Homo-oligomer: A and B are copies of this chain.
């Protein structure tokens, strides 16, 4: 998605060979117009997949997921990273390790909001090692729901998450794929048109 790639090249900050900071439009400050464009792009790519629900994870997945939900006209559920006292229902849970933050969170989704009839589009801001996607897949499986595919705003193509998931036959649609962050420079993978 050219608009996304342009934004990364204009505003992304390379903190190390592993870490790209995009807090001016996605992870801390959010560009609502860009989120709308992202939501429309995900909706276009998954419009024929029979999506009934979008699943994401707090916090940075929420904005792109809600915009996609608006376009596809389906509810969005965000997995929580900690249990809240007002979430008293039966929960589906999974463990997710964040290498960036160097911590393991339990993520949880109320059983009420995902069930065996659902065809789920998963959306997240980053795909690196695939920890978050694996945790959400675990939850989708526990619910007996069907995973239609995964929409990722920025994939770190030099980490193994995307490759491992694609090898399992999971449909991954990444709007931008970073090939390398070496020498303080963002190198994007050339976009392969999906159709």
On whether the beta carbons of A28 and B66 are closer than 8 Å, the reply is no
Is the C-beta of A76 less than 8 angstroms from some C-beta in chain B? yes
A116 at the interface (CB under 8 A from B): no
Q: Does A63 contact B (CB under 8 A)?
A: yes
CB–CB B69/A32 < 8 A: yes
Name the interface size band of chain A.
35 or more
A170 within 8 Å of B (CB atoms): no
Stretch at the interface among A77-85, A142-150, A173-181: A77-85
A194 contacts the other chain (CB 8 A): no
Q: CA–CA, A33 to B73, complex, Å?
A: 7
Interface positions of A from 112 to 131, Cβ below 8 Å from B: 112-113
Assembly CA distance A84 to B100 (angstroms): 8
Closest to A70 in B: B32
Tallying the copies of this chain within the complex gives 2
A87 contacts the other chain (CB 8 A): yes
Cβ-closest chain B residue relative to A71: B32
For A113, what are the chain B residues with a Cβ–Cβ distance below 8 Å? 24, 28-29
Q: Cβ of A30 and Cβ of B100 under 8 Å apart?
A: no
Is A62 part of the binding interface, using a Cβ–Cβ cutoff of 8 Å? yes
Indicate which residue in B21, B75, B86, B102 contacts A29 across the interface (CB closer than 8 Å): B75
How would residues 1 to 35 of chain A score, 1 for a CB under 8 Å from any chain B CB and 0 otherwise? 00000000000000100010101100111111101
Instruction: Kindly state whether residue A166 has any CB partner on chain B within 8 Å.
Output: no
Q: If A62-B62, A62-B63, A63-B63 touch, does A86 touch B32 (CB 8 Å cutoff)?
A: no
CB < 8 Å: which of B31, B58, B76, B112 contacts A32?
B76
| Residues of chain A having any CB pair with chain B under 8 Å | 15, 19, 21, 23-24, 27-33, 35-36, 58-59, 62-63, 65-67, 69-70, 73-78, 80, 84-88, 100-102, 109-110, 112-113
The 6 closest A-B pairs by CB, nearest first: A32-B69, A58-B59, A32-B70, A30-B76, A29-B113, A59-B59
